[in-house]
Amino acid sequence: MIKVGDKLPAGTLMEYSEVEGNGCSIGPNPVDVQTAAAGKTIAIFALPGAFTPTCSAKHVPGFVQQAADLKAAGVDEIWCISVNDAFVMGAWARDQKTTGVVRMLGDGSADYTKATGLTLDLTARGMGLRSNRYSMLVKDGVVKTLNIEAPGKFEVSDAGTLLAQAKAA
């Protein structure tokens, strides 16, 4: 399992783009994690699934609401990672109004989530292999803080916790 001091694993996530520009075409575009994280401070949070109750009502909205404060604390980008395809993440981004605030990155086959070691098996609930709920502060591709939730909990991976950690860094 990934831990503080580790480099982010190599891998590719997918991001849905609504408009063409900045080298991106409309639709799903690959995001090489190590390249995208290089030289930046990134607030990353991951969750079990798009459009799920806690994720939609608390986790994503918290990061949208705290985005300006996170940026003021030195965070260059905010990433949301979920084991969903880029089309679902794009629809969820529209629903949550994250455009220009939080990058919604899909890990459709859970390959990146497996590489972090932060998987959550929700097969018994009909959801298959998903991501555990967590947040981390990453500087130049290296994990500086990591907040992993216990199954079914939402206590330490919220935007307020990561904001306090970013301010202390």
Residue whose entry in the numeric block shows the structure tokens 């905010």: 78
Active site residue 24: no
Q: Which of 42, 55, 75, 137 is catalytic?
A: 55
Q: Cα separation of 31 and 22, whole Å?
A: 13
Q: Please give the helix or strand (H or E) that residue 161 lies within, else none.
A: helix 159-168
Task: Extract the tokens encoding 12.
Answer: 């590719």
Nearest to 159 by CA among 49, 51, 64: 64
Rg of the Cα atoms in the chain? 15
DSSP string, 30-48: EEEHHHHHTT-EEEEEEES
Give catalytic residues, as residue numbers: 55
